[in-house]
Structure 1
């Protein structure tokens, strides 16, 4: 049996926090400053985390290693299981040529890549986040953007930055439901509070996306559709989470925002059409690209367009059906729960740590549902079993280094969590007193940066946020919600998501380059959310906190 210790270094929480942060800081330094390949950086950081757990925290080496194996297993199932099958569905459309049809169809809505980025990376990505969560939106939208002509780096950055505001309500609000469970607060009230924070981010993210695509000029020229998308998404997320249904918040918001942008571009055109390879002035092509000319002269048939959209319609239909209570309960009968062998850990207070409980939700996981959607896609696209299997093999080969990275990062997270390193960091930050309102989102951000999951971050730090709020005389509802809202901004710099994005766009080994492009956005948005939370904790905006 191992009992976690909060302050193993000189009985000082501050010194212990500095040591506990070493594995995580090392990971980001290796990725961002030294440009080490993600899977190598992750394995090095994992080794350091095990050393700290054993030599500093006194965790038995056997339990430290077993904690790593549990994390690696969780990294593969359910996380990689979702990503592998999502990329496989994409490979099926490439195999049949229907992804090119989809590309041309999206381009007919608007040839401007700034507007395409808003629709695909943000609105469609939010729908994927709502239905599947984890790495699915990044995996799917990044390859869709590449198919539209975006350069791989830009496609990866757009997909990661867009995967922010929707994350708190992702996978049918799983992060909120988990937060409610660990804090014993109402999920409806928590969802309402988060729905009064992330919609403000929603207004800003589409503006950031057009800035990434075309710089300040892009913001000046396409601020209107960006704002329309952000405002309608924010309003949809706020209204649904506060007055309708927390799990449906992102579903409604994504559809409303996409519809608003499509309606706008029917009556409004940017002064200049921007594409990756050429700039088209005056709202018309001075020298049309071959793809544009082909689309005008030989439009795709209605049947081909329907088939191109079919895989995504199938994904949505399968996921929605699986969310029906009766179906979900039936599928849940195949779920297996067990304690990970050899792990026996107590918290600093002496209560058993629940992280050793492992769940194999074989049929309710979005990964299996994505696999079913892929099989149905093969039927609709008339793809033979042999070609489908070959496409799966191609997917596994493409993701081979991402698989190693994700499993290593989750192993690192579980070692840090079970040894007590992460709790040391969180407890040290929670000792900030009244200033905790300002730094509360940072705790959630840190949790997601380590684990790659807002759900995991809420499970890890949710109760700690409530305890710190009570000690500092702050709203426990606000602090708990800030953990989830802050967590969404750590998603884009999580090594897990960086690896998924790099693999999806064929940039294995370039995770550090992607990290440097997105980290500034993560920090800027985090600073804004910290300021918002501090204001909501003050008399100035306290009216925004549900009573």
Structure 2
């Protein structure tokens, strides 16, 4: 049965329809932030509400609404949870073999100050992981590493989420922007150059926010030089790479420039007062395996941190190398030809308000080139490097799945919610209502991207969802299409830290599934505040004040 999306199903009023469409999202965030409901229950309730509205208000057939929810839930399992499970399995292997303790000691030799460590791990190293993988991988990995240096778990999750903003628009080798270029027809180079004149502004401030989160105003007062060096270096690297090199390697260049600049600065500077964290216990609960095994070397590594720093970092170096290999020309082409299976999701026949088939009806299963698959291979390599037996590795994998049981429910429900809202037209109604604000839309353009990422957890998905809407609104209001399209992507990155999907990833990474509401309350202010400031910045770019920054 054909279903055609309607923008104004509630009495023919776009405004009232948009308010109605916002109810599932408001419900989700209120349950998390105000009533502190556990994330999987809040997500399930919001999903049920979205399905009810899709059927009762938007007129979507029940079967298609449920099929759309199933597609979104499957996307939550693969690739999102496939990434998280394998990333945390690798961490568990390092923990049960004692190399986690060595990693902790090795990071502290670079700088004993945990505020500087937060910049190095969450901002610099996280950017490199985002450049190669994306989809929550940087949050999962850096949150664990932050706990390793003694930062409290909830604080570590908060830092990891806030840090995973500036590099996101160019993440996964530029996939968000290449997707945006594909759906809008705008030149990729122009979009990349424009994004490279927006996200560096975010990068300038994020390291300062991180040290504020770790140690308050004292942290900013004592470590602002290091934060400034990292932010400026990353911003310059991102601007130059996006405008004069390539969209695909922008974050790699920016991340490397930031790491080199900060390490060089640390050779001649250190904070007047060093703030060291207390060694944290195992996050993933793998210590019992090490005790039962009775391996003296493992216990010594756990207790004293004795061991090779190279071996301690080996799993993460393997991850970077494997992702880099998959981006090589012949390998990338082979994976694109043999590692992707695309098919029409059964039970869906949806048309957009303009009459085109909804893109969400087609499911792309990237089984070989998926980030989770690459992480699985990295885990197998880690098994060999650390000489972990097959049986022990399987037990560790099972323990990881048990740890993530409620996170799995949360992520599948959140992605099911996103798919139902997208396929029924609820999300498009919200975006279209914002686009009907005339020239003031330049101020709201980043908010549309923020909304898309908050719903889907992905800058790529938000660009697919709202890219055409941004260009259409720009042409109707006489604004620059490249400016608004890129603002959709760059503004969207600030919604990533409050996306329930990413909150669940962060909570699971620190071994505190169920703490999503606590983390949400810590990041919501930063997400809204930074988005508001950035929206003003984009608005000024649409005026003569900063119009000289727009790609000509």
Q: Same fold (TM over 0.5)?
A: yes
Kept after mapping to 1: 8 A contact 2:101/2:305: no
1:43-102 Cα shifts (integer Å, max 9, x gaps): 000000000000001000010000000000111111111111111111111121111111
Give the Cα separation in 1 of the matches to 2:305 and 2:349.
63
Give the Cα separation in 1 of the matches to 2:531 and 2:195.
15
Equivalent position of 1:34 in the other structure: 35
Mapped pair 1:341 → 2:342: no
Equivalent position of 1:215 in the other structure: 216
Alpha-carbon shift at residue 275 of structure 1 (Å): 2.6
Alpha-carbon shift at residue 377 of structure 1 (Å): 1.2
With 394-403 and 106-115 compared, the bigger mean Cα shift is at: 394-403
SS at match of 1:272: coil
Equivalent position of 1:108 in the other structure: 109
With 350-359 and 46-55 compared, the bigger mean Cα shift is at: 350-359
TM-score when normalising by structure 2: 0.94
Give the Cα separation in 1 of the matches to 2:102 and 2:201.
35
For structure 2, which runs of at least 5 residues remain unmatched after alignment? 280-299
Q: For residues 322-337 of structure 1, what are the structure 2 equivalents within 5 Å?
A: 322-332=326-336, 333-337=338-342
Give the Cα separation in 2 of the matches to 1:420 and 1:466.
18
Give the Cα separation in 2 of the matches to 1:396 and 1:307.
26
Change (3 A) 1:534 1:306: same
Alpha-carbon shift at residue 452 of structure 1 (Å): 0.3
Equivalent position of 1:421 in the other structure: 426
Alpha-carbon shift at residue 298 of structure 1 (Å): 7.4
Give the Cα separation in 2 of the matches to 1:5 and 1:367.
36
Equivalent position of 1:488 in the other structure: 493
1:448-482 Cα shifts (integer Å, max 9, x gaps): 00000000000000000000000110000000000
Q: For residues 380-391 of structure 1, what are the structure 2 equivalents within 5 Å?
A: 380-391=385-396
CA RMSD of aligned residues (A): 1.4
Kept after mapping to 1: 8 A contact 2:3/2:351: yes
Give the Cα separation in 1 of the matches to 2:196 and 2:212.
25
Partner of residue 300 from structure 1, selected from 306, 319, 323: 306
Alpha-carbon shift at residue 300 of structure 1 (Å): 3.5
SS at match of 2:267: helix
Give the Cα separation in 2 of the matches to 1:522 and 1:494.
10
SS at match of 2:342: strand
TM-score when normalising by structure 1: 0.95
Give the Cα separation in 2 of the matches to 1:98 and 1:195.
38
Give the Cα separation in 1 of the matches to 2:441 and 2:45.
32
Equivalent position of 2:252 in the other structure: 251
Q: For residues 384-423 of structure 1, what are the structure 2 equivalents within 5 Å?
A: 384-423=389-428
Alpha-carbon shift at residue 384 of structure 1 (Å): 1.2
Give the Cα separation in 2 of the matches to 1:543 and 1:225.
30
- Alignment size in residue pairs: 529
Equivalent position of 2:286 in the other structure: none
Mapped pair 1:538 → 2:546: no
1:160-191 Cα shifts (integer Å, max 9, x gaps): 01000011111111101110001101112111
Alpha-carbon shift at residue 543 of structure 1 (Å): 1.2
Equivalent position of 2:524 in the other structure: 519
Mapped pair 1:438 → 2:443: yes
1:364-389 Cα shifts (integer Å, max 9, x gaps): 11111111111111111111111111
Alpha-carbon shift at residue 537 of structure 1 (Å): 0.5
Equivalent position of 1:463 in the other structure: 468
Alpha-carbon shift at residue 276 of structure 1 (Å): 3.7
Equivalent position of 1:75 in the other structure: 76
SS at match of 1:59: coil
Kept after mapping to 1: 8 A contact 2:102/2:305: no
Task: Give 4+ residue runs of structure 1 displaced > 3 Å after superposition.
Answer: 297-301
SS at match of 2:365: strand
Q: For residues 184-333 of structure 1, what are the structure 2 equivalents within 5 Å?
A: 184-277=185-278, 300-301=306-307, 304-332=308-336, 333=338
